[in-house]
Amino acid sequence: MKLKEIIETSLVLLGRSELLETSLFDENISEEITESQQKEIDFLVRCFNLIYKETSADYLPLLYEEKITFKNGQFEFNLLTESILEVYRLYDNNDNNISYKIFSNYIKANANSANIIYSFIPDNLNLDEEVLLFGGKLLPQVLAYGIAREYCLISGEHSEADIWEKRYKDGIKIAMRKKSQIKIKPRRWE
């Protein structure tokens, strides 16, 4: 899903649907977006990026896996594809865990190469970029609630922010629940 679609939902939640009636959101409308409208959309994008990073850092980690090569038993974090937050696992090609020690800007292990699984903080997104929805665990609507919360907090509308905070946190709790299959024992009808 594109960020633009989540912003559309947040505009409706915030009662700002007039911003949807511009060429930015509807290609059938010839009316160009004004400078003040663009500032408002940019503000919502910044709110999204704040909530997206908060969600990935505090609630639902985004994981990335890649193969790394150690130099003198060390691997610099800045060589990773993503901005690392936490190491989840380091293992060899035979799926055996490798012990490691983490320092401020590198990881140390007694290995030449390994596979690393780590959580990361996503980069800031623009309107036309795809949003990672945490492995399908999180509904886009929950991120829209988070955007509405940030928007209201920054705008000084604290009572409104409390409403969106509750909806956002409830959505996060649902996404964080362990989903397991419900198994029902087979029964015979007599």
Phi (first) and psi of residue 57, to 5 degrees: -80, -35
Whether residue 88 is contained in a domain is answered as yes
Predicted confidence band of residue 184 (pLDDT cuts 50, 70, 90):
very low
pTM for the structure as a whole:
0.84
Residue 70 lies in a domain: yes
Place of tokens 């907090």: 153
Asked if 45 and 127 sit in the same domain, the reply is: yes
Task: Tell me the mean pLDDT in the region 84-113.
Answer: 96
Same domain, 77 and 114: yes
Taking only the tens place, the pLDDT of each residue in 153-175 is: 999 999 999 999 999 999 999 99
Estimate to the nearest angstrom the gap between the alpha carbon of 6 and the chain centroid.
12
pLDDT at 94: 94
Residues 164 and 146 in one domain: yes
Same-domain pairing of 75 and 53: no
The residue range of the domain holding 115 is 62-121
* pLDDT tens per residue across span 62-84: 999 999 999 999 999 999 999 99
Mean pLDDT computed over 129-153: 94
Separation between Cα atoms, residue 170 and residue 164, nearest integer Å = 10
Angstrom CA distances, 54 to 61, 115, 120, stand at 10, 26, 11
Q: With a cut of 60, say whether residue 37 has pLDDT above it.
A: yes
Beta bridge partner(s), residue 121? 83
- What is the full DSSP assignment across 79-143? GSSSEEEEEEEEE-TTS-B--EEE-SSEEEES-SEEEEEEEEEPPP--TTSBPP-GGGTS-HHHH
Cβ contacts of residue 130 below 8 Å, gap of 6+? 1, 2, 3
